[in-house]
Amino acid sequence: MNIPKLSQEALVAIGATKPIAGAVDPDRHSEWLIARARSMSAGLRLVLVEIDAIGVSLKGGIITPECAARDLAALERVPCYAASIFYAGRDV
């Protein structure tokens, strides 16, 4: 079995990487967390907009019920995955 090896340039580049500032600097950790919260919020809003668009398209006859069901099933996994992270380990 022939396993490819990294070039010297790639090895130097890997060694030159720096850790994320928010991960090592406590003053910037809150800043990173706020940015992450904004990113997650925007992502969930995009999912809601997609769900609304599927409903409007179905109601207007632009897409078939089969297409809407497939698209909703694909989107259903995204919020469920996010919710599983938030509620993991909590007593419901």
**31 within some domain:** yes
Q: Pick the more confident residue, 60 or 81.
A: 60
**18 within some domain:** no
Q: Tell me the pLDDT tens digit for each residue of 22-38.
A: 556 667 788 888 888 88
pLDDT, residue 83, reads 66
CB 51 within 8 A of CB 72: yes
pLDDT, residue 66, reads 97
Residue 90 has pLDDT above 70, yes or no: no
Q: Can you spell out the DSSP letters for 4-50?
A: ----HHHHHHHHT----HHHH-HHHHHHHHHHHHHHHHHHHHHHHHH
**11 within some domain:** no
pLDDT, residue 17, reads 57
- Tokens 């995204």 appear where? 78
Q: Tell me the pLDDT tens digit for each residue of 37-56.
A: 888 788 888 888 999 999 99
Q: Which two tokens stand for residue 26?
A: 């406590």
**3 within some domain:** no
Enclosing domain of residue 78? 25-87
CB 72 within 8 A of CB 53: no
**72 within some domain:** yes
Look at the chain and report how many structural domains it folds into.
1
Residue 57 has pLDDT above 90, yes or no: yes
**51 within some domain:** yes
Residue 7 has pLDDT above 70, yes or no: yes
**19 within some domain:** no
Q: Can you spell out the DSSP letters for 44-79?
A: HHHHHHHHHHHHHHHHTTSS-HHHHHHHHHHHHHHH
**20 within some domain:** no
